[in-house]
Amino acid sequence: MTTFDLDGVVVRDPLKLSQQSLIEIFANRLILPTKIGKFFYLFRQPNKKVFAWIENRKERGEKIIIASATLETHREVVEKWLKKHQLPYDELLLRKVDEELIEFKMRLIRERGCRFHLDDNFKVVRALQKLLGKERVKYRKLGKLFIVMVK
């Protein structure tokens, strides 16, 4: 089973805005709940290389989980974006309102038994190594992304 982070991995984020905690808080709590925020959310561009990778894994019968720090309260607009771009996936996991980013990633790994996770945020990768141990969490850089392998 492979999990793919949404913002900065599945969705292009050339400015790396998804890695800025203040911008993430601002977007999740002030912009996305508005009609105009939802409207602009749908215009975000997919990462075509990651889409091709997901489609290939799905065709081979692998279970695909999309994970996003976007709050659970915004599920409808996230699902609408995924449907608009016809991304094949089995499950969408979103962050709970009171959950920190690293807590969310840890929950994802523990509850779903994820062995591979694709992320764009090196701080997340290092935090996972710190919490789970470097012997359990290895990573490989793939362009601007990180493939995290969990034993």
Instruction: Render pLDDT for 94-130 as a digit per residue (tens, 0 to 9).
Output: 999 999 999 999 998 888 888 899 999 999 999 999 9
Q: How far apart are CA 83 and CA 87, in angstroms?
A: 7
pLDDT value of residue 114: 86
Q: How far apart are CA 84 and CA 148, in angstroms?
A: 28
* pLDDT over 90 at 135, yes or no: yes
Instruction: Render pLDDT for 17-76 as a digit per residue (tens, 0 to 9).
Output: 677 777 777 787 888 889 999 999 999 999 999 999 999 999 999 999 999 999 999 999
The answer to whether 148 touches 137, Cβ cutoff 8 Å, is: yes
Domains of the chain, start order: 2-150 (3.40.50.1000)
Q: Which residue from 116, 110, 124, 115 is spatially nearest to 21, judged by alpha carbons?
A: 124
Longest dimension (CA), the chain: 46
pTM of the model: 0.88
